[in-house]
Chains A and B, each alone.
Chain A
Amino acid sequence: MSTLKVEIVTPEAPLWVGEATALVARSSEGWFTVLPQHMDMVGDVVPSVVRVDTLEGEIAIAVHGGFFQVGPGEGEEETLATVLAGIAEKVSEIDVARAQAAKDSAEAEIAADSRNERETTTSVMARAALERAELRLSAAKA
């Protein structure tokens, strides 16, 4: 039986590692699904919700941008799919109130900064924070 091993990894720690039946994610060229025996593939992951289907159910993970690699795993028939993300979290663990607060403060910062002619580091950071907050909110709602 061919199997699929999925690893969702952040710099701080592996977030989720285990056997899966499918991995659904979105690269800059669109959605893709990885099943066991998938061909070797390398690409990016745009900020989106990555879904891992397992025999016990599906797990949704908000990935705030990263990369993925599909290749042969350790066993004969194993396929290994690795998602590398700077920031990622399980959708079930998203704190909606905190995300909303982060969104509000990021928006306020961008508004305060918009008077400057040139884009400052703060507003770049704030925009990134806003994107993260928006992804968290939409992921939690879905």
Chain B
Amino acid sequence: MAGGQERILRRRIKSVQSTRKITKAMELIAASQISRSQARIVANRPYRNGMRRIIVEAAKADPAGAAKLLAMPEHVETAIVLVLTGDRGLSGAYNSSAMRAGERLVRKLEGEGSAVRLYSVGKKAGAFYRFRGIDVAEGFVGMSDRPTFDDARRIAATVAAPFIAGEAQQVLLVSTRFLSAATQSVEVEQLLPLSLPALPEDGTPTGLKGYTEFEPEVEQLLITLAPKALESEIFSALLEGAASFHVSQQRAMAAATDNADELGQNLSRIMNRARQDSITTEIMEIVGGAEALRSGK
């Protein structure tokens, strides 16, 4: 009886230890991916900032054209929501907080009387929204770990098409922004109509000389610029999402490894006590038997 319990405990300890090996390995892999994905964010920054500077420059030069391109329509008949999640789980709240923020946004838009068309990046989102009765118009998978600019381009073309065709009046993005290695937060941003980015104050001064020449004319330039700016914004969001995912996974797996350590310790304590118990019982039985024999003599 007692020996049986010991065997069961030993088996459980073994399984906890092998789980711990997996979580530890995932923790290390995620940690190595963090620095790589962070480096990609840094490498992307000059492009993103340059793109934003040009948009601001063009908008300043042609306020009327920019207003047409950037103005919010009075009534949003159909809104497009793009939710960025990961392809893999075991990453703490990374996927679920973005998906839940997306769901809240959809409900809010529907409450305001807009129809919503939902696009998603990441495998997890499809099942989540299907379960909640929200249709996913198209889901992009297989790119969230190492997004390429081509991926961003494809997504941009897909979400912009209904906007250009006039079927939708607004495109919103729900994604996890990588503020620093310690903080990431889920944010909702408007992609289309383009929202004018706030320039960092310490950035290069623009248009100091007061006059900027445009080639081609600024009206024309704004039209070709808009889709490229959209691609750039989506690409940055993809990169920040990937980095946030890895940070989140590393943190979750570190916690899981700690838990496994603790669980293993507790179990081996219980197992040792069980073994000690069974030894004590055995000795008691032997002593008891010997006593009985002696007194029976």
Contact = CB atoms under 8 A, between A and B. Distances in A.
B224 A84 contact: no
Interface stretch (A53-61, A69-77, A95-103, A134-142): A69-77
A13 B232 CA distance: 13
Describe A's contact surface by its main secondary structure.
strand
Contacts of A32: 215
Interface string A54-92: 000000000000110101111000001010101100000
B59 to A, nearest CB: 11
Given A7-B46, A69-B53, A86-B153, A42 B58 contact: yes
B46 A9 contact: yes
A42 B205 contact: no
B-side interface size class: 35 or more
Interface in A26-52: 27-29, 32, 39-44
Contacts of B235: 11
Interface in B43-76: 43-44, 46-48, 50-51, 53-54, 57-58, 61
A39 B221 contact: no
Contact of B215 (A10, A41, A73): A41
Contact of A67 (B43, B205, B228): B228
A9 B46 CA distance: 7
A32 B216 CA distance: 12
Contact of B216 (A10, A29, A40, A66): A29
Contact of B50 (A41, A43, A82): A82
A12 interface: yes
Given A32-B215, A40-B207, A40-B212, A9 B50 contact: yes
Interface of A: 7, 9-14, 27-29, 32, 39-44, 66-67, 69, 71-74, 80, 82, 84, 86-87
Interface of B: 40, 43-44, 46-48, 50-51, 53-54, 57-58, 61, 148-149, 152-153, 204-209, 211-216, 218, 220-221, 224-225, 228, 231-232, 235
